[in-house]
Structures are given as structure tokens and as C-alpha cells.
């Protein structure tokens, strides 16, 4: 199999791979990814906090109704004419009044805790919204910087792709098909030269039968990394 053309193609393709890898690892792009995740996390958290706040407010409303009802019950007890009541009934009312007072104290305590909770939720919500807005603003700044970096590299990539198109015309169709299939499977380099008895990509030692096949056919698919091994 004549490999000169595909090896030249692979060399140019490798330059594109390196340029695209540099762009993928560009610090501005990495920062954009980080800020994008921060913004998403902030949105999720703010939604959760809104639901939590709504739940607390509903509980506070119900508690206020209970407190109002309990107070009214206590006031009704105080309005009763003591002179018309028996001693037992008076004692019963006093005991009931004490329970009402105790219940009111517990209800007020619970209401205070809920008020503290809602204040904390609101503080967390405001902080989350602030984090979201800051992440969004910084994202735009870093995205602009990354876009400028990508724009500067793109002409070089386009130039190399034109060279690839030209070289591809010299590559036999069956060889090009092998190359494209391997590249689609994220295998690169596709064609690697044997390093003695080892694969030139993953350095795995080839078996005696594999070496025999390589010597016979001049190419061999590595069982480990799936690259196509060739020898001069």
C-alpha cells in the first residue's frame, strides 16, 4: 500500500489537531466553561431558594392564623363573667388560659424562627443572584477574548484545510476511507510507523503472529490502540 500521500495528509491534519487542541485548552475558553457552570448552578440554586422561601412564607401565614385564633380564644375566656361560674369552672378556665398562654409563647417562638429562616433564605438568594450576575458579566468578557483568539487562528486552520483538500485527491479512496473512519473514532495519529517490534503509537509489543502479518502485508491494525501500523 502506497502511504506517502496519506502520511502527508496526516501531517497537515496533525497541525490542525494541534491548533484546535490549543483553542480547546485556551485559558479564556476554560474560564468561559467554568463561569458558564457557575451561572447554571446559580440559576438552579436561586430556583430552589425561591421554592424554599415560598414554603416558609406559607407556613408563616398559617402560623399567624393559628396565633390569631389562639389569642381570640384567650380573649373570649377573659370576657366570661366569673361571678356566674362555679369554682370548678373557674379553675378549668384558668387552666385553659394558662395553656393558651403557653401555646402563644411556643407559637411566637416558632414564628421568630421562621422569620430568621426567611431572612437567611433571602440573604442566600441575593448572594446567589449576585454570583450569577458576576459570572454572566465575566463570561462575556472572557468569551470576547476567546473569540478574538479563535479568530486569529482560524485563517491558519482554513489554509491547512485547503491543503488537505488538495492532498486528499492524491490518496486512494480505500486508504482515505480507513483514515476517515479511524479519525471519526478519535484515533490519531491513524498511521504510525512500527518501532522495532512495537506499535509506534502506544508502544505495545507486537506478537510473533502480528509481526509476521506486518512483514507480509506491510500494515497492521494495533490490537491495543487501533492505529494502523506500517513499516518501511
Query: Do residues 197 and 142 both lie within one domain?
Result: no
pTM score = 0.66
- Asked if the structure places residue 10 within a domain, the reply is no
Query: Do residues 159 and 59 both lie within one domain?
Result: yes
Domain boundary among 118, 145, 170: 170
pLDDT at 63: 85
Residue 25 domain boundaries: 15-170
From first CA to last CA, the distance across the chain in angstroms is 11
Query: Do residues 103 and 152 both lie within one domain?
Result: yes
Query: Do residues 42 and 142 both lie within one domain?
Result: yes
Query: Do residues 71 and 56 both lie within one domain?
Result: yes
Query: Do residues 187 and 165 both lie within one domain?
Result: no
pLDDT at 192: 97
- Asked if the structure places residue 8 within a domain, the reply is no
Instruction: Give the tens place of pLDDT for each residue, 161-199.
Output: 999 999 999 999 999 999 999 999 999 999 999 999 999
- Exposed (0-12), middle (13-18) or buried (19+): which is 135, by Cβ within 10 Å? buried
- Asked if the structure places residue 231 within a domain, the reply is yes
- Asked if the structure places residue 204 within a domain, the reply is yes
- How far, in Å, are 69, 77, 130, 179 from residue 146 at the CA level? 63, 75, 24, 31
Percent share of the chain, pLDDT over 70: 90
pLDDT at 182: 96
| pLDDT reading at 1 higher than 80 | no
Query: Do residues 27 and 119 both lie within one domain?
Result: yes
| pLDDT reading at 48 higher than 80 | yes
Write out the three cell numbers for 72.
Answer: 381570640
Mean residue pLDDT across the chain = 89
Query: Do residues 68 and 95 both lie within one domain?
Result: yes
Range 38-43 contact pairs with CB under 8 angstroms and sequence separation of 24 or more: 38/131, 38/132, 38/135, 39/132, 39/135, 39/136, 39/139, 42/128, 42/129, 42/131, 42/132, 42/135, 43/132
Grouping H, G, I as helix, E, B as strand and the rest as coil, residue 229 is: strand
| pLDDT reading at 41 higher than 60 | yes
Query: Do residues 231 and 181 both lie within one domain?
Result: yes
Query: Do residues 134 and 221 both lie within one domain?
Result: no
Q: Residue 55: which residues within 8 A CB-CB, separation 6 or more? A: none
Query: Do residues 101 and 185 both lie within one domain?
Result: no
Biggest distance spanned by C-alpha atoms of the chain: 120
**Into how many domains does the chain fold?**
2
Instruction: Give the tens place of pLDDT for each residue, 195-214.
Output: 999 999 999 999 999 999 99
| Distance from C-alpha of 224 to C-alpha of 207, rounded to nearest angstrom | 12
Q: How far does CA 225 lie from the centroid of its chain?
A: 30
- Asked if the structure places residue 3 within a domain, the reply is no
Instruction: Give the tens place of pLDDT for each residue, 84-134.
Output: 656 666 666 667 767 767 878 888 888 888 899 989 999 999 999 999 999
- Asked if the structure places residue 124 within a domain, the reply is yes
- Asked if the structure places residue 1 within a domain, the reply is no
pLDDT at 99: 77
CATH number of the domain encompassing residue 105: 1.10.287.1490
Amino acid at each position: 500500500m502506497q502511504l506517502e500521500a496519506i502520511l502527508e495528509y496526516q501531517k497537515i491534519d496533525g497541525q490542525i489537531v494541534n491548533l484546535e487542541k490549543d483553542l480547546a485548552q485556551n485559558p479564556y475558553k476554560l474560564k468561559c466553561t467554568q463561569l458558564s457552570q457557575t451561572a447554571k448552578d446559580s440559576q438552579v440554586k436561586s430556583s430552589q431558594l425561591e421554592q424554599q422561601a415560598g414554603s416558609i412564607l406559607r407556613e408563616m401565614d398559617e402560623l399567624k392564623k393559628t396565633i390569631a385564633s389562639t389569642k381570640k380564644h384567650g380573649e373570649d375566656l377573659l370576657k366570661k363573667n366569673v361571678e356566674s361560674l362555679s369554682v370548678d369552672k373557674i379553675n378549668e378556665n384558668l387552666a385553659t388560659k394558662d395553656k393558651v398562654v403557653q401555646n402563644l409563647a411556643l407559637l411566637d417562638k416558632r414564628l421568630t424562627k421562621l422569620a430568621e429562616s426567611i431572612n437567611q433564605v433571602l440573604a442566600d438568594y441575593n448572594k446567589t443572584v449576585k454570583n450569577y450576575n458576576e459570572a454572566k458579566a465575566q463570561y462575556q468578557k472572557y468569551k470576547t477574548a476567546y473569540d478574538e483568539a479563535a479568530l486569529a487562528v482560524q485563517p491558519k486552520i482554513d489554509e491547512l484545510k485547503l491543503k488537505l483538500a488538495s492532498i486528499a485527491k492524491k490518496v486512494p479512496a480505500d486508504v482515505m476511507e480507513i483514515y476517515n473512519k479511524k479519525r471519526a473514532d478519535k484515533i490519531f495519529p491513524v498511521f504510525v510507523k512500527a518501532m522495532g517490534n512495537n506499535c509506534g503509537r502506544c508502544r505495545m509489543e507486537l506478537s510473533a503472529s502480528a509481526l509476521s502479518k506486518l512483514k507480509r502485508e506491510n500494515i497492521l491494525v494495533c490490537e491495543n490502540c487501533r492505529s494502523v501500523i506500517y513499516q518501511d
